[in-house]
Structure 1
Amino acid sequence: MNTKDFIIDESFKLFLARSYDGVSINDISNAVCMTKGALYHHFKSKEELFKLVVDKYLYIPTFTIDAKTNSLYKFILQGNIQAEKKLLFYFKDNKVFTPLDYFSFVSEIFRHYPDFAKKKTKFINAEIEKITLILHKAIKIREIREDINVPLISSSFFSINMGLLSNLVRKNSIEESILILREQNFEFYKLLKRS
Protein backbone atom coordinates (compact mmCIF):
# COMPACT_ATOMS: atom_id res chain seq x y z
CA MET A 1 0.00 0.00 0.00
CA ASN A 2 1.38 3.43 -0.85
CA THR A 3 1.60 6.32 1.62
CA LYS A 4 -1.35 8.24 0.17
CA ASP A 5 -3.65 5.21 0.43
CA PHE A 6 -2.48 4.57 3.99
CA ILE A 7 -3.33 8.16 4.98
CA ILE A 8 -6.75 7.90 3.30
CA ASP A 9 -7.50 4.61 5.07
CA GLU A 10 -6.47 5.89 8.49
CA SER A 11 -8.35 9.15 7.96
CA PHE A 12 -11.49 7.21 7.09
CA LYS A 13 -11.34 5.45 10.46
CA LEU A 14 -10.98 8.79 12.23
CA PHE A 15 -13.77 10.53 10.27
CA LEU A 16 -16.03 7.54 10.79
CA ALA A 17 -15.44 7.40 14.54
CA ARG A 18 -15.27 11.12 15.34
CA SER A 19 -16.81 13.13 12.43
CA TYR A 20 -15.25 15.64 10.07
CA ASP A 21 -15.33 18.48 12.61
CA GLY A 22 -14.10 16.19 15.39
CA VAL A 23 -10.89 15.31 13.53
CA SER A 24 -8.03 17.77 13.21
CA ILE A 25 -4.99 17.68 10.96
CA ASN A 26 -3.00 16.98 14.16
CA ASP A 27 -5.18 13.91 14.82
CA ILE A 28 -4.53 12.64 11.31
CA SER A 29 -0.79 13.30 11.44
CA ASN A 30 -0.60 11.47 14.81
CA ALA A 31 -2.60 8.51 13.46
CA VAL A 32 -0.30 8.10 10.46
CA CYS A 33 2.90 8.97 12.39
CA MET A 34 3.80 11.92 10.17
CA THR A 35 4.41 15.57 10.72
CA LYS A 36 1.78 18.00 9.53
CA GLY A 37 4.26 19.19 6.89
CA ALA A 38 4.66 15.65 5.55
CA LEU A 39 0.88 15.25 5.52
CA TYR A 40 0.48 18.51 3.57
CA HIS A 41 2.99 17.18 1.06
CA HIS A 42 0.34 14.59 0.07
CA PHE A 43 -2.86 16.63 0.58
CA LYS A 44 -3.52 20.36 0.33
CA SER A 45 -6.10 20.40 3.12
CA LYS A 46 -8.28 18.35 5.41
CA GLU A 47 -11.17 19.02 3.01
CA GLU A 48 -9.25 17.54 0.06
CA LEU A 49 -8.37 14.49 2.16
CA PHE A 50 -12.01 14.12 3.27
CA LYS A 51 -13.17 14.18 -0.37
CA LEU A 52 -10.69 11.45 -1.29
CA VAL A 53 -11.88 9.38 1.69
CA VAL A 54 -15.49 9.80 0.54
CA ASP A 55 -14.64 8.88 -3.06
CA LYS A 56 -12.98 5.69 -1.87
CA TYR A 57 -15.29 4.61 0.94
CA LEU A 58 -18.82 5.79 0.33
CA TYR A 59 -20.29 2.61 -0.97
CA ILE A 60 -23.23 2.74 -3.34
CA PRO A 61 -23.93 -0.65 -4.87
CA THR A 62 -22.61 -0.83 -8.40
CA PHE A 63 -23.25 -3.70 -10.73
CA THR A 64 -20.23 -4.66 -12.81
CA ILE A 65 -22.24 -7.25 -14.68
CA ASP A 66 -22.96 -7.10 -18.40
CA ALA A 67 -26.55 -5.93 -18.74
CA LYS A 68 -26.91 -7.26 -22.28
CA THR A 69 -25.87 -10.85 -21.74
CA ASN A 70 -27.15 -11.84 -18.32
CA SER A 71 -30.52 -12.84 -16.93
CA LEU A 72 -32.18 -10.86 -14.15
CA TYR A 73 -31.56 -13.80 -11.81
CA LYS A 74 -27.80 -13.76 -12.53
CA PHE A 75 -27.77 -9.98 -12.22
CA ILE A 76 -29.27 -10.19 -8.73
CA LEU A 77 -26.96 -13.01 -7.71
CA GLN A 78 -23.85 -11.17 -8.89
CA GLY A 79 -25.04 -7.90 -7.33
CA ASN A 80 -25.39 -9.59 -3.93
CA ILE A 81 -21.94 -11.17 -4.21
CA GLN A 82 -20.37 -7.85 -5.17
CA ALA A 83 -22.12 -5.98 -2.33
CA GLU A 84 -20.90 -8.52 0.20
CA LYS A 85 -17.30 -8.33 -1.05
CA LYS A 86 -17.31 -4.53 -0.93
CA LEU A 87 -18.78 -4.33 2.57
CA LEU A 88 -16.44 -6.96 3.96
CA PHE A 89 -13.47 -5.26 2.30
CA TYR A 90 -14.32 -1.86 3.77
CA PHE A 91 -15.61 -2.77 7.22
CA LYS A 92 -14.68 -6.30 8.31
CA ASP A 93 -11.42 -5.29 10.02
CA ASN A 94 -12.65 -1.95 11.32
CA LYS A 95 -13.17 -2.66 15.01
CA VAL A 96 -14.61 0.81 15.69
CA PHE A 97 -17.27 0.67 12.96
CA THR A 98 -20.91 1.09 13.85
CA PRO A 99 -23.63 1.63 11.24
CA LEU A 100 -24.74 4.85 12.94
CA ASP A 101 -21.22 6.21 12.52
CA TYR A 102 -21.56 5.47 8.83
CA PHE A 103 -24.89 7.35 8.61
CA SER A 104 -23.29 10.32 10.38
CA PHE A 105 -20.40 10.14 7.95
CA VAL A 106 -22.83 10.17 5.02
CA SER A 107 -24.71 13.19 6.38
CA GLU A 108 -21.45 15.14 6.76
CA ILE A 109 -20.61 14.54 3.13
CA PHE A 110 -23.32 16.89 1.98
CA ARG A 111 -21.94 19.70 4.17
CA HIS A 112 -18.25 19.26 3.38
CA TYR A 113 -18.36 17.90 -0.18
CA PRO A 114 -21.06 19.83 -2.06
CA ASP A 115 -20.23 18.37 -5.49
CA PHE A 116 -20.73 14.85 -4.21
CA ALA A 117 -24.49 14.80 -4.90
CA LYS A 118 -23.95 15.84 -8.53
CA LYS A 119 -21.31 13.16 -9.05
CA LYS A 120 -23.44 10.44 -7.49
CA THR A 121 -26.63 11.46 -9.30
CA LYS A 122 -24.94 10.66 -12.63
CA PHE A 123 -23.69 7.38 -11.22
CA ILE A 124 -27.11 6.41 -9.80
CA ASN A 125 -28.86 7.25 -13.08
CA ALA A 126 -26.36 5.06 -14.95
CA GLU A 127 -26.97 2.16 -12.51
CA ILE A 128 -30.74 2.48 -12.88
CA GLU A 129 -30.33 2.52 -16.67
CA LYS A 130 -28.31 -0.71 -16.42
CA ILE A 131 -31.11 -2.32 -14.39
CA THR A 132 -33.62 -1.08 -16.98
CA LEU A 133 -31.67 -2.86 -19.74
CA ILE A 134 -31.64 -6.07 -17.70
CA LEU A 135 -35.40 -5.85 -17.09
CA HIS A 136 -36.14 -5.29 -20.78
CA LYS A 137 -34.00 -8.29 -21.65
CA ALA A 138 -35.71 -10.38 -18.94
CA ILE A 139 -39.10 -9.48 -20.43
CA LYS A 140 -37.88 -10.29 -23.93
CA ILE A 141 -36.60 -13.76 -22.96
CA ARG A 142 -39.80 -14.31 -20.95
CA GLU A 143 -37.96 -14.58 -17.62
CA ILE A 144 -40.31 -12.05 -16.00
CA ARG A 145 -43.81 -10.73 -16.63
CA GLU A 146 -44.28 -8.13 -19.33
CA ASP A 147 -46.96 -6.13 -17.47
CA ILE A 148 -44.50 -4.39 -15.15
CA ASN A 149 -43.63 -0.70 -15.02
CA VAL A 150 -39.95 -1.02 -16.02
CA PRO A 151 -38.75 2.45 -14.88
CA LEU A 152 -40.45 2.04 -11.49
CA ILE A 153 -39.15 -1.51 -10.99
CA SER A 154 -35.62 -0.38 -11.97
CA SER A 155 -35.71 2.32 -9.30
CA SER A 156 -37.14 -0.15 -6.80
CA PHE A 157 -34.31 -2.63 -7.37
CA PHE A 158 -31.79 0.12 -6.84
CA SER A 159 -33.59 1.26 -3.69
CA ILE A 160 -33.57 -2.26 -2.26
CA ASN A 161 -29.80 -2.33 -2.63
CA MET A 162 -29.46 1.11 -1.04
CA GLY A 163 -31.49 -0.31 1.86
CA LEU A 164 -28.40 -2.28 2.80
CA LEU A 165 -27.45 0.65 5.04
CA SER A 166 -30.71 0.48 6.96
CA ASN A 167 -30.20 -3.28 7.35
CA LEU A 168 -26.79 -2.53 8.87
CA VAL A 169 -28.37 -0.19 11.41
CA ARG A 170 -31.12 -2.65 12.31
CA LYS A 171 -28.90 -5.72 12.59
CA ASN A 172 -25.47 -4.21 13.31
CA SER A 173 -23.99 -7.11 11.37
CA ILE A 174 -22.54 -7.11 7.88
CA GLU A 175 -23.29 -10.81 7.38
CA GLU A 176 -26.94 -10.54 8.50
CA SER A 177 -27.42 -7.39 6.43
CA ILE A 178 -26.17 -9.13 3.30
CA LEU A 179 -28.45 -12.08 4.02
CA ILE A 180 -31.46 -9.75 4.31
CA LEU A 181 -30.46 -7.98 1.09
CA ARG A 182 -30.25 -11.32 -0.71
CA GLU A 183 -33.70 -12.34 0.60
CA GLN A 184 -35.21 -8.97 -0.34
CA ASN A 185 -33.86 -9.15 -3.89
CA PHE A 186 -35.04 -12.71 -4.46
CA GLU A 187 -38.50 -12.04 -2.96
CA PHE A 188 -38.82 -9.13 -5.35
CA TYR A 189 -37.64 -11.36 -8.18
CA LYS A 190 -40.34 -13.96 -7.33
CA LEU A 191 -42.99 -11.23 -7.67
CA LEU A 192 -41.73 -10.41 -11.16
CA LYS A 193 -41.25 -13.96 -12.45
CA ARG A 194 -43.68 -15.38 -14.95
CA SER A 195 -45.97 -17.96 -13.39
Structure 2
Amino acid sequence: MNPSKKKILDKAFSLFLTQNYDSVSMREIQDAAQISRGAIYHHFKSKEEIYETVVNEYLLPMFSSYMLIPEEEKKTLQATIEASLKYRQSHIATLKEIAASNNKLNDFYFFKFIFQATEHSKEFNEKANLLYEKEFLGWRNVVQTAMRTGEIRPDIDIDFVAQQFVISPFGLGLSMAFNKYVHITTTELRTIYLKLYTLLKKTGYM
Protein backbone atom coordinates (compact mmCIF):
# COMPACT_ATOMS: atom_id res chain seq x y z
CA MET A 1 0.00 0.00 0.00
CA ASN A 2 1.14 3.52 -0.76
CA PRO A 3 2.86 4.90 2.41
CA SER A 4 0.86 8.13 2.32
CA LYS A 5 -2.44 6.24 1.97
CA LYS A 6 -1.48 3.89 4.80
CA LYS A 7 -0.65 6.81 7.07
CA ILE A 8 -4.09 8.31 6.43
CA LEU A 9 -5.79 5.01 7.22
CA ASP A 10 -3.69 4.42 10.35
CA LYS A 11 -4.54 7.83 11.77
CA ALA A 12 -8.18 7.54 10.76
CA PHE A 13 -8.40 4.17 12.51
CA SER A 14 -7.07 5.70 15.73
CA LEU A 15 -9.65 8.47 15.53
CA PHE A 16 -12.60 6.23 14.69
CA LEU A 17 -11.59 3.85 17.44
CA THR A 18 -12.19 6.38 20.18
CA GLN A 19 -14.62 8.89 18.71
CA ASN A 20 -18.09 8.70 17.27
CA TYR A 21 -18.18 8.49 13.49
CA ASP A 22 -19.98 11.82 13.11
CA SER A 23 -17.50 13.68 15.29
CA VAL A 24 -14.48 12.80 13.12
CA SER A 25 -13.94 15.26 10.27
CA MET A 26 -11.79 15.12 7.18
CA ARG A 27 -9.86 18.06 8.60
CA GLU A 28 -9.12 16.11 11.78
CA ILE A 29 -7.92 13.12 9.78
CA GLN A 30 -5.80 15.43 7.64
CA ASP A 31 -4.22 17.07 10.68
CA ALA A 32 -3.58 13.73 12.40
CA ALA A 33 -1.89 12.35 9.28
CA GLN A 34 0.01 15.63 8.77
CA ILE A 35 -0.82 15.58 5.10
CA SER A 36 -2.09 18.20 2.69
CA ARG A 37 -5.75 18.52 1.70
CA GLY A 38 -4.83 17.73 -1.90
CA ALA A 39 -2.97 14.59 -0.87
CA ILE A 40 -5.82 13.22 1.24
CA TYR A 41 -8.31 13.78 -1.58
CA HIS A 42 -5.92 12.20 -4.02
CA HIS A 43 -6.39 8.89 -2.18
CA PHE A 44 -9.97 9.23 -0.92
CA LYS A 45 -13.06 11.01 -2.17
CA SER A 46 -14.71 11.36 1.22
CA LYS A 47 -14.70 10.49 4.90
CA GLU A 48 -17.15 7.71 4.08
CA GLU A 49 -14.61 6.10 1.75
CA ILE A 50 -11.88 6.34 4.38
CA TYR A 51 -14.17 4.76 6.95
CA GLU A 52 -15.12 1.87 4.66
CA THR A 53 -11.45 1.21 3.93
CA VAL A 54 -10.55 1.30 7.63
CA VAL A 55 -13.34 -1.19 8.37
CA ASN A 56 -12.17 -3.50 5.58
CA GLU A 57 -8.46 -3.28 6.41
CA TYR A 58 -8.46 -3.24 10.21
CA LEU A 59 -11.81 -4.39 11.57
CA LEU A 60 -13.07 -7.22 9.37
CA PRO A 61 -9.82 -9.25 9.60
CA MET A 62 -10.64 -9.74 13.30
CA PHE A 63 -13.60 -11.84 12.18
CA SER A 64 -11.19 -14.32 10.63
CA SER A 65 -8.54 -16.62 11.96
CA TYR A 66 -9.05 -19.96 10.25
CA MET A 67 -9.10 -18.43 6.78
CA LEU A 68 -5.75 -16.71 7.36
CA ILE A 69 -4.00 -20.00 8.07
CA PRO A 70 -1.97 -21.56 5.22
CA GLU A 71 -3.04 -25.09 4.36
CA GLU A 72 0.26 -26.57 5.55
CA GLU A 73 -0.51 -25.30 9.07
CA LYS A 74 -3.90 -27.06 9.24
CA LYS A 75 -2.67 -30.66 9.38
CA THR A 76 -4.25 -31.33 12.77
CA LEU A 77 -6.84 -29.63 14.96
CA GLN A 78 -4.19 -28.82 17.54
CA ALA A 79 -1.95 -27.27 14.88
CA THR A 80 -4.88 -25.26 13.54
CA ILE A 81 -5.65 -23.94 17.02
CA GLU A 82 -2.05 -22.79 17.50
CA ALA A 83 -1.94 -21.23 14.03
CA SER A 84 -5.23 -19.38 14.54
CA LEU A 85 -3.93 -17.91 17.79
CA LYS A 86 -0.70 -16.89 16.10
CA TYR A 87 -2.39 -15.08 13.23
CA ARG A 88 -4.97 -13.43 15.47
CA GLN A 89 -2.20 -12.19 17.79
CA SER A 90 -0.24 -10.93 14.78
CA HIS A 91 -3.18 -8.79 13.67
CA ILE A 92 -3.71 -7.52 17.22
CA ALA A 93 -0.04 -6.53 17.37
CA THR A 94 -0.42 -4.61 14.10
CA LEU A 95 -3.46 -2.74 15.40
CA LYS A 96 -1.73 -1.97 18.71
CA GLU A 97 1.20 -0.46 16.84
CA ILE A 98 -1.14 1.71 14.78
CA ALA A 99 -3.15 2.87 17.80
CA ALA A 100 -0.18 3.21 20.14
CA SER A 101 -0.42 7.00 20.24
CA ASN A 102 -3.80 6.99 22.02
CA ASN A 103 -3.41 3.73 23.95
CA LYS A 104 -7.08 2.89 23.36
CA LEU A 105 -6.88 -0.51 21.70
CA ASN A 106 -8.76 -2.62 24.19
CA ASP A 107 -11.93 -4.67 24.08
CA PHE A 108 -14.19 -1.78 25.08
CA TYR A 109 -13.17 0.55 22.26
CA PHE A 110 -12.82 -2.22 19.73
CA PHE A 111 -16.38 -3.48 20.33
CA LYS A 112 -17.63 0.10 20.33
CA PHE A 113 -16.05 0.43 16.88
CA ILE A 114 -17.78 -2.78 15.75
CA PHE A 115 -21.18 -1.54 16.89
CA GLN A 116 -20.66 1.77 15.12
CA ALA A 117 -19.65 -0.04 11.94
CA THR A 118 -23.00 -1.83 11.88
CA GLU A 119 -24.59 1.59 11.54
CA HIS A 120 -22.15 3.54 9.39
CA SER A 121 -20.54 0.94 7.10
CA LYS A 122 -22.89 0.06 4.25
CA GLU A 123 -21.89 -3.59 3.82
CA PHE A 124 -20.40 -4.37 7.21
CA ASN A 125 -23.15 -6.70 8.45
CA GLU A 126 -23.21 -8.63 5.19
CA LYS A 127 -19.43 -8.99 5.10
CA ALA A 128 -19.21 -9.95 8.78
CA ASN A 129 -21.91 -12.62 8.37
CA LEU A 130 -20.17 -14.01 5.30
CA LEU A 131 -16.87 -14.21 7.18
CA TYR A 132 -18.60 -15.94 10.09
CA GLU A 133 -20.05 -18.56 7.74
CA LYS A 134 -16.68 -19.19 6.08
CA GLU A 135 -14.97 -19.45 9.47
CA PHE A 136 -17.61 -21.89 10.70
CA LEU A 137 -17.27 -24.12 7.64
CA GLY A 138 -13.48 -24.05 7.91
CA TRP A 139 -13.45 -25.06 11.59
CA ARG A 140 -16.13 -27.66 10.89
CA ASN A 141 -13.92 -29.22 8.24
CA VAL A 142 -10.85 -29.42 10.47
CA VAL A 143 -12.88 -30.82 13.40
CA GLN A 144 -14.41 -33.44 11.11
CA THR A 145 -10.96 -34.40 9.85
CA ALA A 146 -9.68 -34.67 13.42
CA MET A 147 -12.53 -37.05 14.20
CA ARG A 148 -11.79 -39.16 11.15
CA THR A 149 -8.07 -39.44 11.89
CA GLY A 150 -8.62 -40.28 15.56
CA GLU A 151 -7.10 -37.07 16.90
CA ILE A 152 -10.32 -36.47 18.84
CA ARG A 153 -13.32 -38.62 19.73
CA PRO A 154 -15.69 -39.64 16.92
CA ASP A 155 -18.90 -39.03 18.85
CA ILE A 156 -18.97 -35.24 19.21
CA ASP A 157 -21.43 -32.71 17.80
CA ILE A 158 -19.37 -31.28 14.94
CA ASP A 159 -21.47 -28.16 14.40
CA PHE A 160 -21.49 -27.30 18.09
CA VAL A 161 -17.72 -27.64 18.43
CA ALA A 162 -17.01 -25.66 15.25
CA GLN A 163 -19.26 -22.91 16.54
CA GLN A 164 -17.30 -22.70 19.81
CA PHE A 165 -14.07 -22.07 17.92
CA VAL A 166 -15.71 -19.26 15.95
CA ILE A 167 -17.66 -17.46 18.67
CA SER A 168 -15.25 -17.83 21.61
CA PRO A 169 -13.06 -14.83 20.62
CA PHE A 170 -16.08 -12.53 20.49
CA GLY A 171 -17.84 -13.91 23.53
CA LEU A 172 -14.65 -13.53 25.55
CA GLY A 173 -13.94 -10.09 24.13
CA LEU A 174 -17.44 -8.82 24.80
CA SER A 175 -17.35 -10.04 28.40
CA MET A 176 -14.06 -8.18 28.90
CA ALA A 177 -15.27 -5.04 27.13
CA PHE A 178 -16.93 -3.82 30.34
CA ASN A 179 -13.46 -3.22 31.75
CA LYS A 180 -11.94 -0.31 29.80
CA TYR A 181 -8.48 -1.15 31.11
CA VAL A 182 -8.30 -4.73 29.82
CA HIS A 183 -6.25 -4.83 26.65
CA ILE A 184 -6.84 -7.30 23.85
CA THR A 185 -4.62 -10.40 23.92
CA THR A 186 -4.97 -14.05 23.00
CA THR A 187 -3.94 -15.33 26.43
CA GLU A 188 -7.45 -16.11 27.68
CA LEU A 189 -8.52 -17.37 24.27
CA ARG A 190 -5.61 -19.81 24.23
CA THR A 191 -6.75 -21.21 27.58
CA ILE A 192 -10.30 -21.68 26.29
CA TYR A 193 -9.22 -23.32 23.04
CA LEU A 194 -6.81 -25.72 24.73
CA LYS A 195 -9.33 -26.70 27.41
CA LEU A 196 -11.86 -27.39 24.68
CA TYR A 197 -9.30 -29.47 22.79
CA THR A 198 -8.55 -31.49 25.92
CA LEU A 199 -12.25 -32.14 26.46
CA LEU A 200 -12.65 -33.28 22.86
CA LYS A 201 -10.13 -36.03 23.51
CA LYS A 202 -11.97 -37.32 26.60
CA THR A 203 -14.82 -39.80 26.63
CA GLY A 204 -18.33 -38.92 27.71
CA TYR A 205 -18.29 -35.29 26.58
CA MET A 206 -20.29 -33.66 23.77
Among 117, 132, 139, the alignment partner of 2:147 is 139
Which residue is 1:172 aligned to?
182
Query: Does 2:177 align with 1:193?
Result: no
SS at match of 1:189: helix
CA RMSD, Structure 1 to Structure 2 (Å): 2.1
Among 155, 164, 168, the alignment partner of 1:156 is 164
Which residue is 1:62 aligned to?
65
Among 59, 73, 76, the alignment partner of 2:81 is 76
Cα distance in 2 between the residues matched to 1:163 and 1:65: 25
Contact 1:144 1:193 in 2 (8 A): yes
SS at match of 1:163: helix
Unmatched segments (≥5 aa) in structure 1: none
Number of residue pairs matched? Answer: 193
SS at match of 2:21: coil
1:158–1:77: structure 2 CA closer, same or farther, 3 Å change rule? same
Which residue is 1:15 aligned to?
16
Which residue is 2:3 aligned to?
2
Which residue is 1:182 aligned to?
190
Which residue is 2:47 aligned to?
46
Q: Which residue type is aligned with residue 125 of structure 1?
A: E
Cα distance in 2 between the residues matched to 1:69 and 1:60: 18
Contact 1:67 1:131 in 2 (8 A): no
Identity %: 27
Greater shift, 45-54 or 111-120, is seen at 111-120
What is the TM-score of this pair, normalised by structure 1? 0.89
1:153–1:165: structure 2 CA closer, same or farther, 3 Å change rule? same
Cα distance in 2 between the residues matched to 1:26 and 1:183: 44
Contact 2:111 2:174 in 1 (8 A): no
The CA deviation at 1:8 is: 0.5
Cα distance in 2 between the residues matched to 1:54 and 1:12: 8
Cα distance in 2 between the residues matched to 1:68 and 1:77: 9
Contact 1:62 1:127 in 2 (8 A): yes
Contact 1:51 1:113 in 2 (8 A): yes
Q: Which residue type is aligned with residue 94 of structure 1?
A: A
The CA deviation at 1:67 is: 8.2
